[in-house]
Every structure is written in C-alpha cells, then in structure tokens.
Amino acid sequence: MIHENISSQKKPDSPFSLNIGERRKHVLGTLQVPEDTRITKSNSYNVCVHYEEDEISCILPSVEFFEFSNKDDWVATWIDIPFDSFQDNYSEAIKKVNDTTKFAKNWDSYGAERISVMTASRAINFLYESLRALNNCGITLPKPFTAPCPDGSIQFEWEKENKELEVVIPHNIGDKISFLQIEGDDYKEGIIDHPSELVEYFL
Amino acid sequence: MIKSSAEKVKIVDILDEDELYRRIHPSWQKNNGKISSGAFITKPHPVSIDIAKLTTPIKTLSNFPDHWLVSLITKIVRSIGLDACHNPRPENYAHGLIKGKINKTKARRLAESASLVIKK
C-alpha cells in the first residue's frame, strides 16, 4: 500500500548484516524496493530478517511496518499488501519452515543434517515468488505440504487434481532447485531456474 | 589373535521377501496417512533401515515415541534399482542400508511403497 523513505540507492549484497538499536539483525537475500518508489524499478522482495544466528523471528518484514538502518544510513520502510495474501496462503508452510530450523542435528534419528536459516530463507522466497507468479496467471494452488529432508534441504509438495509436484530447496546454496512432477504413472524430474516456472506445471 | 569386527559379527543375507523398517519423523507424516518422499532424501548417505527379521517394531521405535514405523519390501526396493544390505552396528545388530543412488523419483517410489506398521 505504501512504499516510502528509501533514503539511499545503495543496495546491499547478499547476504549482509545490519544493526538496529541494540539487536543485531541479518537480512538474507537481496533487498530491493517496489517499482512505484523513486529509487529502483525492481519489484522483488527477497527479504528475510532474523534476530539471532539460529532463529528466524520475522521472515516477511512487510507484513507490518519495518525500518532498516545500517551504518551507511540505508533506510527502507514499507507496507506491502501482497505479503498479507502470502501469509494467508502459506502461513502454515512458513511456520513449518521456521520450526525446522530449530531441529538439532540428527533430528530424524538417522543422523539428519540441520536445516539452515539460509535454506529456510531460500525456501520462503521460493514460496513467495511462486505464489506471485501463480496469482498473475490466475492459478490457485492448495497449501503445500512442507518436509525437511535429512540432507538439510526442504521439500514442498502440492497436489491438485491428478497432478502432484514436489520441489526440493537444496541446502547447498550452489545447487539448483529441483522438482519431481507426477501425473498418473508419469514421473518427470528437472531443475527449476525461477519460481515462476511453477506455473507451467499446473496450467 | 585379534579378530576383525567383520569376523565377529554375522552378516545375514537380505531376501526379496524380507521387510525393512524405517522410522518416520513427525514432519514427514501427512494427514492422509501417507509419508513424504523427503524421508528418503538422505544424500550423500545411504538410507538406514532395520532388517525386520532381526528386530521388532517396538524395538526399532524404542526411544522415538513420536515416530511412525513403515516397512518396505526388499523386492520392491530392488525393482526400482536399489538394494538392501545388512550393516550391523554395535548398538543395533538389525541395522541395514538401502544402497544405490536415490534420485527424486526413487525417493518418491520408496515413499509410495512404504506400508504403515505403527502410527502414533
């Protein structure tokens, strides 16, 4: 609804950290501002904020009024309505992703790796970007089932009519997001370069 | 003479009809009673299982009150290009491994073929 108070055109690299008051915060991903601001034409919101190294306190800063500031006086303040929609659709998934980051190593009793905050951030960004792409195409998906994987990755699963899609967000930042599409007896595996490609699988 | 551990522990053959147990963490349990294929995405490590004929469901689930227990049939595991072997550990003689490269499709097929033994 309102985007304002972008006081600098400086865009931080990913990931970066900043300080607000006495609490140290980290912002994962590239922080960009909406196209109706004066600063940039980007409309990405790849932002994840957490207050401590191992705990995410807030993944979606635009649900409420937030302000960021670092030593370079970089400030961004906004309220973003699409995130509300995102929260409604995926709040369960977001909560589960957050919860998985609290699992200790060996959480599955077979030696599973921890789910890192970085992987969680990437997973939630994927959800947001895919939801936006689906909304643009008028496609509605049921809420995903969310599963942590023993190798430290996170899997989302959708079922719609006779189609199913499993998407794995890998723990290694250098690895690509992969998918398995199931339609009847047909199984198709592949790589997802951008979350918007999710649209193809449910058209 | 000191014997190697391999000499001391008897390794059993896994037959096609043998059942393999795997504990299912609560986060893999779906409302419809199915399990997520995420349970089998363990790379680079093989999937750990218990050989059913060497243990009991209760023993496999001991200390894990929130887990479900599923069983896989070795013949099905082999039919999708994987194999099972006995891999006893000091604390668990029934321990085994599902060997072979498990891609997404194979993980999914393992999950589909899993039968619920104990649901908490």
User: Where exactly are the structural domains of chain B?
Assistant: 11-118
Could A180 and B42 be called an inter-chain contact, meaning their C-beta atoms sit closer than 8 Å?
A: no
Of A100, A151, A180, the CB nearest to B105: A180
B51 pLDDT more than 50: yes
Instruction: Look at residue B69 in the predicted model and tell me its pLDDT.
Output: 96
Question: What's the pLDDT tens digit per position in A72-103?
Answer: 333 333 333 344 455 567 778 877 887 888 89
Nearest to B36 among A147, A153, A178 (CB): A147
Residue with the two structure tokens 């339609």 = A183
Which pLDDT tens digit goes with each residue over A33-80?
Answer: 333 332 222 333 334 333 333 333 333 333 222 333 333 333 333 333
In eight-state DSSP terms, residue B52 is G
Q: Looking at residues B94-120, what average pLDDT do you find? A: 95
Q: Is some CB atom of chain B closer than 8 A to the CB atom of A181?
A: no
DSSP class of residue A176?
Answer: P
> Scanning every residue of chain A, which has its alpha carbon at the shortest distance from the alpha carbon of B62?
A109
What span, in angstroms and rounded, lies between the C-alpha atoms of A131 and B66?
32
Contacts of B25 (CB under 8 A, 6+ apart): A107, A108, A109, A112, B39, B66, B67
How many angstroms away from the CA of B31 is the closest CA of chain A? Answer: 10
Domain ranges of chain A: 2-79, 81-202
User: Chain A partners of B103 at a C-beta cutoff of 8 Å?
Assistant: 189
Nearest to A111 among B25, B45, B103 (CB): B45
> pLDDT tens digits, residue range A138-152?
787 788 999 999 999
Hey, are the CB atoms on A151 and B30 less than 8 Å from each other?
A: no
Q: Is A185 an interface residue toward B (CB < 8 Å)?
A: no
- CA–CA distance, A12 with A9 (Å, rounded to integer): 10
The complex scores an ipTM of 0.89
Amino acid at A144: P
pLDDT for the residue A86 = 58
Among candidate residues A187, A202, A59, the one with its CA nearest the CA of residue A127: A59
The pLDDT of residue A116 is 83
| pLDDT score of A159 more than 60 | yes
Task: Please answer yes or no on whether B38 and A148 come within 8 Å at the CB atom.
Answer: yes
Position A17 pLDDT exceeds 70 = no
Number of A:B CB contacts under 8 A? 66
For position A67, what pLDDT does the model report?
Answer: 36
Average pLDDT, chain B: 92
Name chain A contacts of B67, Cβ cutoff 8 Å.
Answer: 109
Residues of B with CB under 8 A from a CB of A: 23, 25, 27-28, 30, 36-39, 41-45, 47-48, 63-64, 67, 103-105, 108
Candidate from B36, B42, B64 with C-beta closest to A109: B64
Neighbours of A36 (CB within 10 A): 10
The pLDDT of residue B4: 55
Percent of residues, chain B, with pLDDT higher than 90: 82
What is the SS3 assignment for B70?
strand
A153 touching chain B per CB within 8 A: yes
Q: Which of B31, B40, B42, B102 to mutate to test the interface with A (most CBs of A within 10 A)?
A: B42
Which residue on chain B is closest to A180 by alpha carbon?
B104
Residue B37 and residue A166: Cβ atoms within 8 Å? yes
The Cα-based distances of A79 to A7, A8, A43, A95, A191 in angstroms read: 16, 18, 13, 21, 33
What is the reported pLDDT for A123?
A: 85
